[in-house]
Amino acid sequence: MNTHKPYGPYEKYIKRPLDCILASCALIVLSPVLGITAILVKNKLGSPVIFTQKRPGKIDPKTGKERIFKLYKFRTMTDKKDSKGNLLPDKDRLTPFGRALRSTSLDELPELINIVKGDMSIIGPRPLLVQYLPYYTDIEKHRHDIRPGLTGLAQINGRNAVKWDKRLSYDIDYVNKITFFGDLIIFVKTVGKVFKRSDVAVDTDTVETYLDRERQEIIDLKNAQQDVAYNSIISEESRRSHEDTKMNQRII
């Protein structure tokens, strides 16, 4: 359940209207860029031009669950399939043009629509995959107390190269203290990184693991260790029981 309390007047009264105004202005100003990019995507990668994927957003106070929304991005991969009709791995479908879109972050521009709609904010924890939801700790779940963002504290501190535990802790640090100057610093640093093309993982599979797989492996390892410990205890008890039986037989 969402028990988040706004840190101050900026978060409570200003942040959402400001997001809506800035995103709307950006859509107007960048409309030529959006149009040209859409045409290039259509010619080089085909349709659909926009890639959509379900992502978890802010927790709905009525249901206590994360609102699931469609995230918009320009597509960066082809639909190439193997002989069995299965999609090839991402690295085999990512074209040089797609790499260029990712390295310049142009593929993220359609997310401005998500911001205007109210799905997202300009600054906030990045919306991750729905399949990660069962694997967050109780503390990490608070990243969904607010709207996810186009960029965030984790993105200016290493982005995909940072380990999951650290990246999620950055999200919680941000959620606990949202200020205008904090958002301004994150925005300025993000713009700098976009122009420098630093900390941008074009092929994310090469620099990060999937959170659900990583944590499931940890769970499986702990369960295996518990099984070993349990079997060890049972074996010891069985040995002692056997020795006691032998001792009783000798006494008789």
pLDDT in tens, 226-236: 877 767 776 66
Tokens matching residue 180: 């205008």
- CA-to-CA distance for 129 and 208, rounded, in angstroms? 14
**What distance in Å separates the CA atoms of residue 137 and residue 219, rounded to the nearest whole number?**
13
48-79: pLDDT as tens digits: 999 999 999 999 988 999 999 999 999 999 98
- pLDDT at position 206 over 60: no
Task: State how far the Cα of 129 lies from the Cα of 210, in Å rounded to an integer.
Answer: 9
Distance of CA 20 to the CA centre of its chain: 22
Calpha distance 120→112 (Å, rounded) = 8
The mean pLDDT value of the chain amounts to 89
Residue 85 CB coordination number (10 Å): 6
What band does 115 get if pLDDT is binned at 50, 70 and 90? very high
Do the Cβ atoms of 170 and 157 come closer than 8 Å?
yes
Lowest mean pLDDT among 5-14, 92-101, 132-141, 233-242: 233-242
Residues 189 and 158: beta-carbon distance below 8 Å: no
Residue spans of alpha helices (H) in 118-251: 164-176, 180-196, 211-251
Rounded to the nearest 5 degrees, what angle is found at the Cα of 214, between the Cα atoms of 208 and 216? 160
pLDDT of residue 133: 96
The per-residue pLDDT for 244 is 61
